[in-house]
Structure 1
Amino acid sequence: MPRIAAPTNAAQREQTQRKVLDAFGELLFSHGLPGLTMTDVARAAGVGRTAVYNYFADIEQLLVAFALDETGRFVTDLKDKLAGIQNPVDRLSLYVRAQLMDLTRRHLPPGPAMRSVLSNESFAKLGVHVGELNTILEDILRDGMDQHYLPVADVEGLVQLIHGSLTASASRRKIESPDEARVAAAVRFIQAGVGASFGADGRPVTYS
């Protein structure tokens, strides 16, 4: 019988599933989705191909599980960090930085590419977390407008433009984190795009 490395069968299953998801993420990062097979994932995870199928029926199901797992963890961490910041312009800066770090680290296929390889049902599952990220950004922008740090504008339109800019600005090289100058430029660009103003001390200021 195979030796159980974890203290319980449930823990062993969780460890194996984590290995599979991590291996899939690495392959997605280094090789991309086209041509990726369950055999590739099993080999990278150091488990048998049958073991992968015990958790995921196919690459589509694995992609959805990976995306939900990664995005869910990202959303939770982002909310925790945003909770400690009051100024909406500073919160926008943190949001932009966090998104660029996450996009650089994970390299999930962009929305249109995901839609092209997923069924409507699977793609709809991803919309839950995507919608949650949209809501977070919408709240930041609305707070900025309500507190007169940002001029009143179409919030939903700004969200689409910001997310499009972030996707375009994310590094496509395999690095641990994006270049700080690149991140700072993206932050300034987006802050300027939504109409934020700053005083001589570099702090956000309200409109008179």
Structure 2
Amino acid sequence: MPRISGETLQQHREQLQRRVFEAFADLMAERSFDAITMAAIAERADVGRTAIYHHFPDKESVVVAFASHETEEYLHRLRDDLAEADDPATRLRLYVRHHLAEGERFHMGLGPQLYGVLGPDSRMAIRQHVVAVEDVLRGILEAGTTDGSFTIEDLEPTMSLIHACLSPRHLPAQTIESFVLRAVGAAGPG
């Protein structure tokens, strides 16, 4: 009889999922995705080698579930941060700050290098999570363009360029923030 942790089956599943995600994140920090096996994830998560397959059929499903979980957490914290501001310039400033502060944790290895080893369905599922984050930025930029806070000629390339600016970790956050705000015509104190 398998042992159940938690008071309910739902709690058991949530605890198991959390352990699997923590194990997966730890393993991704140590090695490449190709070098990670379901057995290694199960061992690190302290889950039986066969039990893990009851929840995740393969490691691609772990990646997709992990990305979904991380995106939901990221968006929840982002929306909490954005709730503090009404005007688009302040919201953009908060978006940039949040993205830079959380970027290392949120993007841990789930970038283009991982997409190359995932199947098309998994890539599409992960892309949907990226779109959810992009939608928040799109809403900020559209509101700022509508109320005259920003000068943006083409929204999609502007979004891509903003996200590209948020990638380098060797620049000070204030430098990146100032550059992004000047790029959309919203420079000023913040």
TM-score of the aligned structures, taking structure 1 as reference length = 0.81
1:109 aligns with 2:110: yes
1:55 aligns with 2:45: no
Instruction: Tell whether the 8 Å contact from 2:6 to 2:12 is kept in structure 1 after alignment.
Output: yes
Any unmatched runs of 5+ in structure 1? 172-180, 204-208
Question: How many angstroms does 1:3 deviate by?
Answer: 5.0
Aligned identity (percent) is: 35
Greater shift, 55-64 or 100-109, is seen at 100-109
Residue in 1 that maps onto 2:185: 195
Greater shift, 125-134 or 135-144, is seen at 125-134
In the alignment, the residues of structure 2 paired with residue 131 and residue 31 of structure 1 have an alpha-carbon distance, to the nearest angstrom, of 27
TM-score of the aligned structures, taking structure 2 as reference length = 0.88
Residue in 2 that maps onto 1:176: none
In the alignment, the residues of structure 1 paired with residue 130 and residue 71 of structure 2 have an alpha-carbon distance, to the nearest angstrom, of 8
In the alignment, the residues of structure 1 paired with residue 79 and residue 37 of structure 2 have an alpha-carbon distance, to the nearest angstrom, of 34
In the alignment, the residues of structure 1 paired with residue 127 and residue 2 of structure 2 have an alpha-carbon distance, to the nearest angstrom, of 39
Instruction: Tell whether the 8 Å contact from 2:67 to 2:129 is kept in structure 1 after alignment.
Output: no
Q: Which string of whole-angstrom CA distances, capped at 9 and with x for unpartnered residues, describes residues 149-200 of structure 1?
A: 2213211111011112222x247xxxxxxxxx722222112112222232xx
Change (3 A) 1:134 1:146: same
In the alignment, the residues of structure 2 paired with residue 139 and residue 100 of structure 1 have an alpha-carbon distance, to the nearest angstrom, of 19
SS in 2 for 1:99: helix
Moved over 4 A (4+): none
Instruction: Tell whether the 8 Å contact from 2:145 to 2:152 is kept in structure 1 after alignment.
Output: yes
Greater shift, 29-38 or 71-80, is seen at 29-38
Instruction: Tell whether the 8 Å contact from 2:42 to 2:49 is kept in structure 1 after alignment.
Output: yes
Instruction: Tell whether the 8 Å contact from 2:27 to 2:41 is kept in structure 1 after alignment.
Output: yes
Greater shift, 58-67 or 12-21, is seen at 12-21
What is the CA RMSD across the aligned residues, in angstroms? 2.1
Aligned residues: 189
Question: How many angstroms does 1:2 deviate by?
Answer: 5.7
